[in-house]
Chain A
Amino acid sequence: MNIYLREMKSSRKSLFIWCIAMIAFVAAAMGKYAASSYVSGQSLNDIISQMPEAVKSMFGADRFDLSKAIGFYGAMFIYVVLMAAIHASLIGANIISKEEDDKTAEFLMSKPVSRTKMITSKLLAAITNIAVFNIITMLSSIYFVGYYSKGENVTDNVIRLMVGVLFLQLIFMSLGLCFSAFLKNPKLASPCTVGIMLATYILSLAIDINSHLSGLKYFTPFKYFDAKNLIYGKGFEIIYIVLSILIISVFICVTYVFYKKRDLEI
């Protein structure tokens, strides 16, 4: 419990800044929607709908109905996802490895807590951080999108999107945890996690450009919870949910197994 509280306290400030940034982002993006909706939204949609997939994705405006608030939010949503992924990877990679990096590992390990217990507390703290991030973003999105949507009900859509983000956050968080337990040099944990996160993001862009690559979509979590499917009909696909849960549990198991045997770098 002490470790959990201590961890929450130390991440308080950065979590606060992240949440403010997310609220500001959603507010700014939706504020822009209000400004741009005067420009004949309908004719833009006509043009976009006729473009081939590759070109649409270059504008980041594939298949969303930009004249509706939720469609506009969907087009902006990839940035929300990207920020959530960065936040989650950093939290996951830092929360364990920072003890060795800051040379506090000795102090912590000499306390009467088992390593398993320590990881559990840290894992819970990381999950709490991610959940707060997710909930704040969800509430501000519901508020701002709802404000501009002229009475349409958007809450369901936003909640569905944010549940997808939660899975993505958990994947990258557990990847970070796994690296910090697995890699010999604790300093490498966050660069490696962030590197893999960016590589999968870029892979997801490449899949958009070139449809021949769509077989690779299982390798990038950014494709698991597609905003288009979540807003317009299809909803969650079982295979991706199973895949994410599998990935998360494997990473977390690896964390526990490897950290127990870890030779700490002091």
Chain B
Amino acid sequence: MNVFLHELKSYRKSTIVWAISIALMTIFFLSLYPSFSSNASLVKKILEGYPEPVRKAFGISIDDITNFLGFYSYVFSYVVLCGAIQAMNYGISAISKEIKLKTADFLMTKPVRRDEILTSKLFASLISLIITDIIYLVTAFITAESVAKESFNIKLFFMISVTLFFVEVIFMSIGVLISAVVGKIKSTISLSLGVVFTFYIIGMLQATLNDKTMKYITPFKYFDAGYIIKNSSYDMTFVIIFLFIVIVSILLSYVFFFKRDIYAV
């Protein structure tokens, strides 16, 4: 419990900064919607003039981009990017910061087992992420209500928004695994940016090129907003992959962390 509270306290400042910057970004982007939507009705007309196969090849359906939820899912992809960086940072720093700051031997000599330490650290990161997500969700919803002229499907809005948390959990668990395996991590942020942006760019390539197999590689595409809007449900294959990745990487982190050599100063 002590480890958990201490950890939560040490994340406090960064949680506040992340939550505020994500919220501001969302307000900024969503407030562009009114001018965008007047433009968008033009596109609708142009697109309707084209035959179905051409539109399919391009990977768009008309309604997807012109209504509010379509615009929201575009904005949301950048929110997820930020959330993923935050989650990866927390995941990687969980173990590596004790080693880097040379506080590991202090912590390990306390009468707490290693698995308890890791569990409290995981929960602390999860709570920080959840707080950020709640702040995001509330701001996004209030902004959405005020900018959207037409009414939008609130259930779908929340189904899309909640996937932020799922993607964050994936990145956090990958981060913990990395920090449990790799000996000494010099800079948390370089590593997390590297990993997150690799997946993000794979995701962008996937969207531009419409390649089906690439979807499986990048967590950014597991909860595709387009799919959610169309079917009002998550794609089960990817939910299973998501659970698999999270469970396996967290289990492996425990295994590695139990056996790892902790260097004393």
CB atoms of B65 and A58 under 8 A apart: yes
Indicate if the CB atoms of A190 and B189 lie closer than 8 Å. Answer: yes
- In the bound complex, how far is the Cα of B209 from the Cα of A60, in angstroms? 11
Whether B190 pairs with A36 at a CB distance below 8 angstroms is no
How many chain-B residues does the 8 Å CB contact rule pick out? 35
A interface footprint on B73-89 (CB within 8 Å = 1, 0 otherwise): 01000100010000000
Contact B39 A195 (CB under 8 A): no
Which residues of B does A touch, CB under 8 Å?
21, 25, 28-29, 32, 35-36, 39-40, 42-43, 46-47, 50, 54, 57-58, 65, 74, 78, 82, 186-187, 189-190, 193-194, 197-198, 201, 204-205, 208-209, 211
Within the complex, what minimum Cβ distance (angstroms) separates B24 from chain A? Answer: 10
A25, A39, A52: residue with the most chain B Cβ atoms closer than 10 Å: A52
A52-B209 contact given A43-B54, A47-B50, A86-B193, CB 8 Å threshold: no
Partner of A32, one of B35, B43, B205: B205
Instruction: Tell me whether A94 and B205 are in contact (CB under 8 A).
Output: no
How close is A185's CB to chain B, nearest CB, in angstroms?
Answer: 11
Query: Known contacts A55-B40, A98-B186; is A50 also within 8 Å of B78 by CB?
Result: no
A36 touches B197 (CB 8 A): no
Asked if A246 is at the interface of the complex by the 8 Å CB criterion, the answer is no
Binds B, one of A152-160, A205-213, A233-241: A205-213
Interface string of A153-179 (1 = CB under 8 A from B): 000000000000000000000000000
Do residues A47 and B54 form an inter-chain contact, with CB atoms below 8 A? Answer: yes
User: Once bound together, how far apart are the Cα atoms of A82 and B39, in whole Å?
Assistant: 28
Give Cα distance in the complex from A191 to B194, angstroms: 14
Cβ–Cβ < 8 Å partners of B46 in chain A:
47, 50-51
* Distance (whole angstroms) from the CB of A51 to the closest CB of chain B: 6
Residues in B whose Cβ lies below 8 Å from that of A131: none
Contact B78 A79 (CB under 8 A): no
| Residues on B with beta carbons closer than 8 Å to the beta carbon of A32 | 205, 209, 211
Residues from chain A with a CB closer than 8 A to the CB of B193 are 86, 90, 194
Instruction: List chain A residues, Cβ under 8 A from B78.
Output: 202, 205
Flag A12-52 by CB within 8 Å of B: 1 or 0 each: 00100000010001001100100110011001100100111
- In angstroms, Cα B209 to Cα A76, docked, is 11
**Residues on A close to B: CB < 8 A?**
14, 21, 25, 28-29, 32, 35-36, 39-40, 43-44, 47, 50-55, 58-61, 75-76, 79, 82-83, 86, 90, 94, 98, 102, 190-191, 194-195, 198-199, 202, 205-206, 209-210, 212
Whether A209 contacts B25 by the Cβ 8 Å rule is no
Q: Do B204 and A79 touch (CB < 8 A)?
A: yes
CB-nearest residue of chain A relative to B189? Answer: A190
In angstroms, Cα B48 to Cα A47, docked, is 11
Least CB distance from B82 to A in Å reads 8
Q: Given A79-B204, A90-B190, does the pair A52, B42 have CB atoms closer than 8 Å?
A: yes
**What residues of A have a CB within 8 angstroms of the CB of B25 in the complex?**
202
- CB-CB under 8 A from A83, the residues of chain B are 197, 201
Chain A contacts for B21, CB-based, 8 A? 195, 199
Contact present for A28 and B205 (CB under 8 Å)? yes
Return the contact of B208 from the options A14, A51, A54, A60 (Cβ within 8 A): A60
| Selected A-B contacts with CB under 8 Å, 17 pairs | A21-B198, A32-B211, A44-B58, A47-B46, A52-B42, A52-B43, A58-B65, A61-B208, A82-B201, A83-B197, A90-B189, A190-B190, A202-B25, A202-B78, A209-B29, A209-B36, A210-B35
CA distance A90 to B193 in the complex (A): 10
Chain A residues closer than 8 Å to B54, beta-carbon distance: 40, 43-44, 47
Distance in Å from the Cβ of B111 to the closest Cβ of chain A? 29
CB contacts (< 8 Å) of B35 on chain A: these are 54, 210, 212
Given contacts A25-B201, A58-B65, A79-B204, contact A206 B32 (CB under 8 A): yes
A59-B50 contact given A86-B197, A209-B32, A210-B32, CB 8 Å threshold: no
Instruction: Out of B36, B58, B198, B204, name the residue touching A60 (CB < 8 Å).
Output: B204
Chain A residues contacting B189 (CB-CB under 8 Å) are 90, 190-191, 194
Closest to A97 in B: B187
Across-interface contacts of A205 in B (CB, < 8 A):
78
* Known interface pairs A202-B25, A205-B78; A94-B190 also in contact (CB < 8 Å): yes
Most buried by A among B201, B204, B205: B201
B40:A54 contact, CB within 8 angstroms:
yes
Shortest CB distance A207–B (Å) = 10
Query: Known contacts A25-B201, A52-B39, A98-B186; is A206 also within 8 Å of B209 by CB?
Result: no
